[in-house]
């Protein structure tokens, strides 16, 4: 399989790469760079083409790029005291109530 050949990728992987590339292009990334990033993301997620003969067939990374930030969240909130969290929640509720009254 020559370098750059996408014949070993499934239809789903191709659609995924197209969607990712469109997203990059919408954010101003040049078309060729967007396509390269998109395929790099698909390869990171899936380990390469999944059709027979693909380098990553049958392997799972278990760590999708789309889920990369999941474990990091919540640390700031956990570091605050219950009183601080409660005050923040009350302030947020008041803001929502005030904004709802405006609309």
Given phi > 0 = left and psi -120 to 50 = alpha, else beta, which region is 48?
left
Q: Quick: pLDDT tens for 73-103.
A: 777 888 899 999 999 999 999 999 999 998 7
Answer with the residue of higher pLDDT: 81 or 59: 81
Annotate 31-98 with DSSP letters as a single string.
Answer: HHHHHHHHHHHHHHHHSS--STT-TTTT---S--GGGTTTTTTTHHHHTS-HHHHHHHHHHHHHHHHH
Q: Quick: pLDDT tens for 21-46.
A: 999 999 999 999 999 999 999 888 88
Mean pLDDT comparison of 17-21, 54-58, 72-76, highest-scoring range: 17-21
Ranges of each domain in the chain: 11-52+76-102
Which among 72, 66, 73 has a CA at the least distance from the CA of 38? Answer: 66
Give the model's pLDDT for residue 5: 82
Which among 20, 63, 55, 15 has a CA at the least distance from the CA of 40? Answer: 20
């Amino acid at each position: 399989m020559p370098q750059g050949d996408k014949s070993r990728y499934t239809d789903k992987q191709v659609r995924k790469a197209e969607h990712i590339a469109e997203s990059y292009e919408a954010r101003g990334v040049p078309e060729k760079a967007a396509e390269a990033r998109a395929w790099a993301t698909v390869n990171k997620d899936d380990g390469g083409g999944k059709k027979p003969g693909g380098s990553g067939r049958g392997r799972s990374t278990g760590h999708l790029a789309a889920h990369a930030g999941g474990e990091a969240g919540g640390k700031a909130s956990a570091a605050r005291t219950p009183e601080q969290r409660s005050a923040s929640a009350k302030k947020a509720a008041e803001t929502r109530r005030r904004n709802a009254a405006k609309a």
